């Protein structure tokens, strides 16, 4: 017998590919590029049509991209906010257009958290605390004082603000541990090298520890430290965040002492969230990916496992 025709809208609904508009903040670091690859691969895997825009660190370009997604009437919008503030208006426009928004990787400061469905990203405050705990342990037999230099990430970004806060909350335990040099270096290798050169000139090399908010800045700082004639990982203890392969290679060479992992492979979690939102399911307000801490001891073994 003939199979009855499905009502046309059901067929159309089945045929409709979910369209996701994604505003990526840039391509400043190995972490970011791994994050982009993960999102693009996961969209393909999930059969989700991805409209992808790279704002190259410009909040204005992110806002313009989100506005284009609204005009395109995409099903879901996701974005990695380059800094925490300045998103109220564009998120209100998305709500007025009835388009749900997901935060990917970084957080925003807004008065009405109902303007986004969920924030998928690491607990940066905890990452900062892990870095601080490592340092307290590493220096437990060192009488001090301990002079610390800090390479901050993008000024006003949630990872930079929170990693700095978590680190300070832990090392506060030792009055002889002071952050004597601290400045933004935009999460990049070049800026990390430039700012570290300045710290070394200013201090005459009198720095015991470097806390870099990401691996790329740590890699740049290593160049500057070696140019200055000091040994990274020995004369200056180096603690970094992300867990990129290059950082593990440096750790295996004894040039970085501790890497706090920050997982960039958010693609699959993001696509699952997009699908659930499209199907009308409710999601938790906060989704935190799994991540760990690695020191020199584990470096050799782990370096081969790094996917980014």
Rule CB under 6 A: which residues touch ligand GZL?
A: 28-29, 31-32, 105-106, 121-122, 159, 187, 214, 216, 241-242, 262
Instruction: Name the residue nearer to ligand GZL (CB basis): 19 or 258.
Output: 258
Q: How far is the CB of 127 from ligand GZL (least distance, A)?
A: 8
Q: Are strands 76-79 and 101-104 parallel, antiparallel or unpaired?
A: parallel
Residue 173, Cβ density class (10 Å: 0-12 exposed, 13-18 middle, ≥19 buried): exposed
Q: How far is the CB of 308 from ligand GZL (least distance, A)?
A: 10
Distances in Å between the Cα of 266 and the Cα atoms of 26, 61, 193 are 16, 22, 29
Instruction: Name the residue nearer to ligand GZL (CB basis): 27 or 203.
Output: 27
Instruction: Name the residue nearer to ligand GZL (CB basis): 18 or 55.
Output: 55
Question: Cβ of 291: how many Cβ atoms within 10 Å?
Answer: 18
Q: How far is the CB of 32 from ligand GZL (least distance, A)?
A: 5
Instruction: Name the residue nearer to ligand GZL (CB basis): 95 or 306.
Output: 306
Instruction: Name the residue nearer to ligand GZL (CB basis): 167 or 187.
Output: 187
Report the C-alpha gap between 267 and 105 in whole angstroms: 10
DSSP SS3 for 204: coil
Q: How far is the CB of 169 from ligand GZL (least distance, A)?
A: 19
Residue linked to tokens 């807004």:
110
Q: How far is the CB of 163 from ligand GZL (least distance, A)?
A: 8
Nearest residue to ligand GZL, scored by beta-carbon proximity? 31
Comparing CA positions, the residue from 303, 299, 25 lying closest to residue 153 is 25
Distances in Å between the Cα of 96 and the Cα atoms of 74, 89, 91, 272 are 13, 11, 9, 24
């Amino acid at each position: 017998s003939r199979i009855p025709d499905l009502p046309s809208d059901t067929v159309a609904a089945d045929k409709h590919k979910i369209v996701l508009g994604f505003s990526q903040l840039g391509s400043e670091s190995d972490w970011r590029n791994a994050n982009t690859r993960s999102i693009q691969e996961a969209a393909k895997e999930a059969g989700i049509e991805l409209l992808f825009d790279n704002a190259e660190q410009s909040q204005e370009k992110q806002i313009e991209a989100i506005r284009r997604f609204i005009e395109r009437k995409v099903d879901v919008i996701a974005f990695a906010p380059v800094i925490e503030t300045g998103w109220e208006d564009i998120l209100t426009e998305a709500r007025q257009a009835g388009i749900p928004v997901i935060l990917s990787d970084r957080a925003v400061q807004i008065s009405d958290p109902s303007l986004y469905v969920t924030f998928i990203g690491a607990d940066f405050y905890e990452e900062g605390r892990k870095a601080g705990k490592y340092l307290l342990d590493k220096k437990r037999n060192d009488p001090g004082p301990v002079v610390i230099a800090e390479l901050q990430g993008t000024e006003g970004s949630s990872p930079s603000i929170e990693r700095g806060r978590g680190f300070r909350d832990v090392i506060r335990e030792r009055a002889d541990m002071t952050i004597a040099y601290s400045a933004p270096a935009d999460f990049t290798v070049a800026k990390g090298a430039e700012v570290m050169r300045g710290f070394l000139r200013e201090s005459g090399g009198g720095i015991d520890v470097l806390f870099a908010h990401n691996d790329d800045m740590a890699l740049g700082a290593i160049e500057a430290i070696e140019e200055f004639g000091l040994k990274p990982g020995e004369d200056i203890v180096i603690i970094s965040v992300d867990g990129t392969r290059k950082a593990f290679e440096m750790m295996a060479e004894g040039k970085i002492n501790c890497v706090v992992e920050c997982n960039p492979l958010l693609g699959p979690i993001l696509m699952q969230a997009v699908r659930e939102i499209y199907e009308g399911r409710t999601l938790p307000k906060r989704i935190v990916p799994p991540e760990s801490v690695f020191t020199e001891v584990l470096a050799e073994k782990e370096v081969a496992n790094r996917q980014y």
